[in-house]
Amino acid sequence: MSSRKSLEKAIGRIGDLPAIPEVVSQVLQLTEDSNVALADVSKVIERDPALTAKLLKVSNSPYYGMKQVVGTLKLALVILGAREVRNIVLGVSVVDSLRDKTTERFFEHMDFWNHSAMVGGLAKKAGTRFNLGLQGEDFISGLLHDIGKIVMWRQIGRPYEALLAGAGGHSAALIEAEKEAYDFDHADAAAVLAHKWNLPDTLGDALYYHHPREGQSLGDAKDPKLAALVQIANQAAHDNWAAEDKMSLISCANDAAWNVLFDNKKVMELDDRVSLLSGYHTELANAPAPVF
Ligand SMILES: [Fe+2]
Ligand SMILES: [Fe+2]
């Protein structure tokens, strides 16, 4: 992300970003060693029963798609492994840190978290299907992809609400309006927050690239496949799956992202993309909305 400095300047002009919450930095410390011990992860999470409960809720939700019920932290660590548990806890902690009563009133109302969980669930399912070897990064990148909207809402308030409403749920229109009004968009804001909070670069770049960026390539992301996956998942969450014309399904027509997913080799055919993603979308749309 080459223009981070200028973005920080632009975002800094309209207010301070929230400081990194204690729990997020604690969870992040666990990532420094990629072979982190189960006992160490367990110790940090155990101290916070609410966090433990949320970890189990997420792991057992249809959006996470586990085949087995995970009833305890110990079992979660055995089945998922320390790194994946750490990732889920990281996602949940970031969500918690950005939520407060005022933010919630607005964001619940816009169905923000349902959309976020849908993108997380779609990314997780597709990431698993394509054997990307991700350990929860798919789910949390999807879950957090739009947090830049919260950052902007907290800083700008009502004028940003009006801008969001004006875009009427159309991603391209929203990005354009944000850029015109503030010189940056919510994907930029998310990436700057991720950087400030020392979130992993793979995650920060997945947020930064969740909408196709003019003149920039997914290949420049720290983990291009993760970024491509989240871009497709977000488009799939917005697509109208009842449409007759399959080419109108932006998630399926996004060749640039599919090429990255398949290393430009034997890329999945359009019809197969449609049946795969529409199947995942239907499964998740019929699942109970996740509460965590
Ligand atoms: Fe977005
Ligand atoms: Fe989105």
- Tell me the CATH number at 162: 1.10.3210.10
Residue-averaged pLDDT of the chain: 90
Assess contact for 137 and 88: CB atoms under 8 A. Answer: no
pTM score > 0.85 for this model?
yes
Is residue 51, in this structure, part of any structural domain at all?
no
Q: What is the Cα–Cα distance from 198 to 204, expressed in whole angstroms?
A: 9
Place of tokens 């597709």: 126
- Domain residues for 158? 4-14+99-285
Is residue 89, in this structure, part of any structural domain at all?
no
Q: How confident is the model at residue 103 (pLDDT cuts 50, 70, 90)?
A: confident
In the reported structure, the alpha carbon of residue 37 is separated from the centroid of ligand 1 by a whole-number distance in angstroms of 35
- Give me the number of domains the chain comprises: 1
Q: What is the Cα–Cα distance from 200 to 140, expressed in whole angstroms?
A: 11
Is residue 59, in this structure, part of any structural domain at all?
no
Is residue 50, in this structure, part of any structural domain at all?
no
**Which helix or strand (DSSP H or E) is residue 287 part of?**
none
Task: State the ligand closest to the CA atom of 213.
Answer: 1
Is residue 48, in this structure, part of any structural domain at all?
no
CA atoms within a 13 Å half-sphere pointing along the CA-CB vector of 287: 21
In the reported structure, the alpha carbon of residue 146 is separated from the centroid of ligand 2 by a whole-number distance in angstroms of 5
In the reported structure, the alpha carbon of residue 287 is separated from the centroid of ligand 2 by a whole-number distance in angstroms of 19
Interval 66-102: pLDDT, tens: 889 999 999 999 999 888 998 999 999 999 888 888 8
In the reported structure, the alpha carbon of residue 23 is separated from the centroid of ligand 2 by a whole-number distance in angstroms of 25
In the reported structure, the alpha carbon of residue 219 is separated from the centroid of ligand 1 by a whole-number distance in angstroms of 19
Instruction: Judge whether residue 2 has pLDDT over 50.
Output: no
Q: Tokens for 148, please give them.
A: 């830049």
